[in-house]
Amino acid sequence: GAVVSQHPSWVICKSGTSVKIECRSLDFQATTMFWYRQFPKQSLMLMATSNEGSKATYEQGVEKDKFLINHASLTLSTLTVTSAHPEDSSFYICRPVNPTYEQYFGPGTRLTVT
Amino acid sequence: DQQVKQNSPSLSVQEGRISILNCDYTNSMFDYFLWYKKYPAEGPTFLISISSIKDKNEDGRFTVFLNKSAKHLSLHIVPSQPGDSAVYFCAANSGGGADGLTFGKGTHLIIQP
């Protein structure tokens, strides 16, 4: 089946620093990438949608200047959390859109901001 | 307004029995439904899906039933195994997989030995 990777799998950073999360689709090319986050005991929430070569579209309440998304190629998208704060601590998950109906998520990145 | 609802936050089932997880939706534009399984600190794993043109899809121990008139779907796992203990998310979208998924809040399934 399709394989999606994320790096790093977990990261701890200090408040005010920036963290970059990479998402790669290894078996297919994805023109569209979704980024989700999940807070403890809550559902997955869509943060933004990115299309290769164009600007990302952010969901209401998600700051585009804080969560920078770059979808530079059909197999790589990055999410950068800028000036991270403790309330940004969450589990971030990517989902490159697979041309087939079976949709696969990345394994997720646990971000802890101290 | 929550468009995908999983009203049972948790469900406990004995090993070997059938687990039935329920999901309701309100958006009549949804035409594709998926179930995901998620362990703590891992990304969701795709389990099974169903399009609105079908009312049943089966894959091994997993069967998903869709009742469009009631806007209800369910996931049946039989027989339930200890490794099935996880949080199960129901998700829906329109336009095939190209749209963002709308998730329910999940049901924590606990399989008891």
Beta-carbon contacts of B61 under 8 Å, excluding residues fewer than 6 positions away, are B77, B78, B79, B81
A34, A106, A110: residue with CB nearest B100 = A34
Using CA atoms, how far apart are residues A62 and A74, in angstroms rounded to an integer?
24
Q: What percent of chain B has pLDDT over 70?
A: 94
User: What residue type is assigned to position A10 of the chain?
Assistant: W
Q: How far is CA B22 from CA A19, B8, B64, B65, B108, in A?
A: 38, 8, 10, 10, 12
Whether residues B44 and A100 touch (CB distance < 8 A) is answered with no
- Round to the nearest angstrom and report the end-to-end CA distance of chain B: 38
Cα B77 from Cα A24, distance rounded (Å): 31
- Token pair for residue A81? 């959390």
Q: List the single residue in B with minimal CA-CA distance to A4.
A: B43
Identify which of B34, B43, B89 has the shortest CB distance to residue A106: B43
Contact A74, A23 (CB under 8 A): no
Chain centroid to CA A21: 7
Q: Read off the pLDDT band of B96 (50, 70, 90).
A: low
pLDDT of residue A1: 54
List the 59-78 stretch of A: residues with Cβ below 8 A of B: none
Find the residue in B nearest to A48 (Cα). B100
pLDDT 10s digits, B10-55 = 999 999 999 999 999 999 989 889 999 998 878 888 899 898 889 9
Instruction: Say yes or no: A98 contacts chain B, CB-CB below 8 A.
Output: yes
* Longest distance between any two alpha carbons in chain A, whole Å: 40
pLDDT higher than threshold 80 for residue B86: yes
Q: Cα-flanking dihedrals φ and ψ of residue A87, to 5°?
A: -70, -10
* Best CA proximity match to B37, nearest among B89, B105, B103, B104: B89
Say which of B42, B51, B106 has its CB closest to residue A43.
Answer: B106
pLDDT of residue B89: 94
Chain B contact set for A45 (CB, 8 A): 103
Q: Is the pLDDT of residue B97 over 60?
A: no
User: CB of A108 within 8 Å of any CB in chain B?
Assistant: yes
> Residue B70 has which token pair?
């009631």
- What mean pLDDT do residues B79-108 have? 85
With contact defined as beta carbons under 8 Å apart, do B41 and B58 qualify?
no
The region of weakest confidence among A13-22, A82-91, B52-61, B94-103 is B94-103
**Could you give the CA distance from residue A71 to residue A99 in angstroms, rounded to a whole number?**
17
For A31-46, the pLDDT digits (tens) are 889 999 988 777 788 8
